[in-house]
Every structure is written in C-alpha cells, then in structure tokens.
Chains A and B, each alone.
Chain A
Amino acid sequence: MKKSATIIISVIIFLFCPRTIFAQFVKLTINGGNSFCGFSIQNGFYTKNNANEYIAKKAYSGDNSGLVEVVTEIMAQSGFDVPISVYLVAGEANCFATIVGDGERVIIADQLFLNDVNKQVKTEWGAISIIAHELGHHIAGFAKSASQTPDSELDADYWSGYLLQKLGADKEASTKCIMSFGTEDDSTSHPNKYRRKSAIQEGWDDASKGLYNEDRCKNCQ
C-alpha cells in the first residue's frame, strides 16, 4: 500500500511539479557509474564507462532554496572540512550525492521534493535528514562496488543521525523520514527501514556522547 502511494506521489511529482527552466545551465559531467544519463535520478538508469550529463542549476548563498546555508551549517557540525557544491534540479523526487568528473563533491537536490517530504513526515527535520544523509556519503566515503552499497547507505544514515543530533533534532524527528520513505525489505542497494533507523539512532546516540564510530568513516582514516 505504502509502495503504491509512493509510486503515485512520484508520478504526480513527475507530472505536475513545475518544470524548471534553468537560469544558468550547468553541465555536470559525471564519469563512470554514479550518474544518470537523462533527467531523472529516480529511476536509476546507470551507464558505465561513459561520461554523462545533467542539467542543473548551481545553488548559491542567499537563494530561495536555502540549501547552501543548510549544507554549510551541517558541515560545520561535522568537522569534515571539504567544500561541497549544491545543485538544484526539478522533477527528480530525490537527492543525490556524488563526485563529478573534476573531483568536485556535489549534492544534487530537488527542492520541491524536499518540501514534499517535510509535509509528509510533518517535521522540517525530514528534509534536513535527507541532506545530512547525502553529506554522510561524502563523509563516510562512497561504495566501491555494488556489493558495498547497502553498507555505504547505513554509513550515511549513521552520519545523518549524528549530524541531526548535533543540529538539535530529537531522536524521533531524526528517524521520521526513513520510517516514512524507507522500505520494509532490503533491496539490492538499500537496507530495510528498520536497519536504517537503527543506524540513524546509533549515530544520534554517539553524537550525544561526544563520540563517533570510526568504522563508519572511510574518509576519516
């Protein structure tokens, strides 16, 4: 039932959200298997060993998205001092973290999707937890192979919980998003929502004790 609702919502988002026409085209060239060749991250059609392109708009401090400020504040809490650029897309119903061809670390986000998440989970920590999860990928390090992907998702979830605690979210608010949008069962790429909730809670608990788990951070060593 929930899956059907998610599909319907995604389709509605695809069909009815305003089509963004970008003020400044930015062609993000992404090498390898971390990118989608067309306009959607949602369906995850990946091509390997080819350079692919996105149309996106670079977010900047003071714009209507607020995402640069959010990312800056989250990164200040993490102690992970690496510049991360934010790009805005529309109609994607997703957020996405990757490293583009020239080594630039990026987060690609659909602002209307994040707004929608907040409405559905009834807390503005919903969107923040997604952004924190994506930043968590940059902190923890990306999966080197498909078999590592579920673990890398849990690592990113750990950092989401860690960062949300640092930002002042309570534990329940930190996990609301994953409990609303996560899946009942493991998929090839993502663990089920209960395992992910546990990882978020683990990060939240560690942050509250002033600790972090080094095993969750490949980039920290």
Chain B
Amino acid sequence: MMKRLLITIPIFLCITLKVKAQNTGCAEAVAQLQNYAAQINQFYYNEYWTIIPNVRCPAFDQWGRPFHPLMVQNCRNQTLISLNQWYGQQCIYINNWYNQIVRGCSVQPQSPTAPTPAPRTVTGTDESAQINTDQIKELKAGIDESKAVKITIPKTASGYRPRQ
C-alpha cells in the first residue's frame, strides 16, 4: 500500500495536461482554459471517488481480506493530501492563466472594423475598475442558448414535465 502511495505523488506532479493559450484570440483562449480546468476537475473527481478508494488505498486485498482500517485510513489521508496539494497548484496555475488572458484581452487593440456597441457595464463589483469590458467584447458566446432552457416557476402544483 505504501508503494502505491509513493507512486501517487509523482503521478500527481507529472500530470501535464497543459493546453497553452496561444495566439488565438480571447474567446478561444478562455475556451482552452475552461477545457483544461474541466480535465483537472475530471481527474480530481476520478481520483477522489474511484481511484483512491478502490485502487490506491483499497479496504480489501486481492483475496478479499480486509486491510487494517487504520492503515487504510492513513493511506487515504496521505493520498488525499497529495491530491489536494496537486489540485491547489493547478488552481494557482489556472488563476494565473486566467489573469494572463484578462490582461491580454484588456489591452488588445480594437479593430477599426469591429462593431462598436459596448457591452452592458457590470456594476457593483471591483471588476469594472480593472478590466475595460469594451476591449473584450469578443468573449460573447455566453451560455449556449440553443441548449439552455429558461428557468420559470411552474404554474401547477406538480410542475410541468420539463421541455426537452
């Protein structure tokens, strides 16, 4: 079990799913970032719910005999600490990456042929002071409206059958 644990740490550190934001415009850069974050989340989720309890620190050996509960608990705690440390590093990396995108987009020169209407100004946050939203209007896809259904309060006590 300890061997598995020792293997775990380098695995976390060696995961390199990096998808760099290249010279691809703000929209694509954010999409890449979100894709990367989704991969990280998926990896974490798999580790947390499946790999650690069933593979790295199982409660039973291959013959179905239980390991000592304290040993299992210790293994899981140690592995989870490693996983969380790795995840924390990824969070910092993702946040830095996001800040780079924001900085890059906020200074991006506006094309003379670009449409001019300014996006709705967001108030009530400290964001408006830091990011010129006029400069990032490329980032306009938003929720995929073809798939998203408007949330409404049902008119009947049991509720409608949801629209597909």
Residues of A within 8 A of B (CB): 3, 7, 10-11, 14-15, 17-29, 37-40, 42-43, 45, 47, 52-53, 55, 57-58, 60, 64-67, 69-70, 73-74, 85, 88, 90-91, 100-102, 104, 111-112, 114-115, 118-119, 122-128, 131, 167-170, 172-173
A47-B91, A123-B160, A173-B159 known; A70-B153 Cβ under 8 A: yes
Chain A residues with CB below 8 A from B131, complex form:
25, 27
B151 near A39 with CB under 8 A, answer: no
5 other A-B residue contacts (CB within 8 Å) besides A19-B38, A40-B37: A20-B34, A29-B126, A37-B95, A38-B41, A123-B160
Is B73 an interface residue, CB under 8 A from the partner?
no
Complex Cα distance, B98 from A115, in Å, reads: 28
A57 near B34 with CB under 8 A, answer: no
State the Cβ distance, B60 to closest chain A Cβ, in Å: 19
B162 near A7 with CB under 8 A, answer: no
State which of B4-12, B13-21, B107-115, B133-141 sits at the interface with chain A. B133-141
B148 near A39 with CB under 8 A, answer: no
State the Cβ distance, B119 to closest chain A Cβ, in Å: 5
Q: C-beta contact mask, B121-164 vs A, less than 8 Å → 1, else 0?
A: 11011110011010011011111110111111111111111101
Q: How large is the interface on B (under 10, 10 to 19, 20 to 34, 35 or more residues)?
A: 35 or more
Is B40 an interface residue, CB under 8 A from the partner?
yes
B126 near A112 with CB under 8 A, answer: no
Chain A residues with CB below 8 A from B50, complex form:
7
A66 near B44 with CB under 8 A, answer: no
A124-B159, A127-B151, A169-B154 known; A39-B126 Cβ under 8 A: no
Complex Cα distance, B91 from A23, in Å, reads: 23
Is B88 an interface residue, CB under 8 A from the partner?
yes
A25-B127, A53-B95 known; A14-B42 Cβ under 8 A: yes
Is B49 an interface residue, CB under 8 A from the partner?
yes
User: Which 8 A-B residue pairings sit nearest by Cβ, starting from the closest?
Assistant: A123-B159, A18-B144, A118-B162, A37-B91, A66-B150, A170-B157, A39-B37, A21-B141
State the Cβ distance, A133 to closest chain B Cβ, in Å: 14
State the Cβ distance, A28 to closest chain B Cβ, in Å: 7
Within 8 Å by CB of B125, from A11, A27, A42, A70, lies A27
B91 near A119 with CB under 8 A, answer: no
B49 near A7 with CB under 8 A, answer: yes
Is B59 an interface residue, CB under 8 A from the partner?
no
Within 8 Å by CB of A10, from B45, B144, B153, lies B45
State the Cβ distance, B116 to closest chain A Cβ, in Å: 15
Within 8 Å by CB of A124, from B87, B91, B152, B164, lies B152
B143 near A64 with CB under 8 A, answer: yes
B127 near A26 with CB under 8 A, answer: yes
Within 8 Å by CB of A45, from B87, B122, B124, B154, lies B87
Chain A residues with CB below 8 A from B133, complex form:
24-25
Complex Cα distance, B125 from A85, in Å, reads: 11
